[in-house]
């Protein structure tokens, strides 16, 4: 189960759905994809963003808006005030992407260095024009940690790895 604070509402996510409590202007229930058993949703001051049926979507003025396509149930993403970042991994294929929080389409040409082994944890923190992606993996019995600095245009500015 996950919780998000969003303006006057609280979002509660569990088992493929996110429920909005406290704001009558939001649709009360969203069907969402999952990533590693957790609902694929995030929010910023502009609205809610979620994955459904392999599509990145958001709240719009007249209802749901389509942003772009991702890999169903294999995608993790975050959104900041101006842009979002996400990735999906299927076998040896790693795809990372950025998207404008107000625009349409995703830039899936982010050249994030691939990691090996099992992904244990991931988090992303945003500034106005860049984000910091933190990854923790298990590689051949060792715990490895990565930080990547990524611009809102999808350029990888810096990368560091430590064990």
Tens of pLDDT, residue by residue, the chain (163 residues) = 888 888 888 888 888 888 888 877 777 888 999 999 899 999 999 999 999 999 999 999 888 999 999 999 999 999 999 999 999 988 778 899 999 999 999 999 999 998 888 999 999 999 999 999 999 999 999 999 999 999 999 999 999 999 8
CATH 2.130.10.10, domain 2-162, yes or no: yes
Which residues touch 85 (CB under 8 Å, ≥6 apart)?
A: 77, 78, 96, 97, 98, 110, 124, 126, 131, 133, 150
Can you tell me the distance from the alpha carbon of 157 to that of 88, in angstroms, rounded to the nearest whole number? 20
4/7 Cα distance (integer angstroms): 10
pTM of the model: 0.90
pLDDT at 96: 98
Is residue 106 within 8 Å of 56, Cβ to Cβ? Answer: yes
pLDDT score for 107: 98
**Stretch (H or E) spanning 160:** strand 156-162
Dist CA 73 CA 54 (whole Å): 7
pLDDT at 35: 92
145 pairs with which residues across the strands?
136, 162
């Amino acid at each position: 189960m996950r919780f998000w604070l969003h303006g006057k509402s609280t979002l509660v996510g569990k088992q493929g759905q996110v429920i909005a409590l406290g704001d009558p202007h939001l649709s009360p229930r969203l069907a969402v994809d999952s990533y590693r058993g957790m609902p694929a949703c995030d929010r910023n001051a502009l609205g809610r963003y979620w994955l459904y049926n392999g599509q990145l979507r958001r709240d719009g003025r007249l209802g749901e808006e389509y942003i772009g396509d991702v890999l169903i149930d294999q995608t993790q993403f975050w959104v900041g005030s101006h842009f979002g970042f996400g990735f999906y991994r299927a076998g040896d294929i790693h795809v990372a992407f950025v998207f404008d929080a107000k625009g349409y389409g995703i830039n899936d040409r982010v050249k994030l260095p691939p990691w090996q082994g099992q992904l244990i944890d991931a988090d992303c923190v945003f500034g106005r024009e860049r984000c910091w992606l933190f990854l923790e993996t298990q590689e051949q019995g060792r715990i490895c940690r990565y930080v990547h600095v990524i611009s809102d245009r999808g350029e990888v500015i810096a990368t560091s790895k430590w064990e």
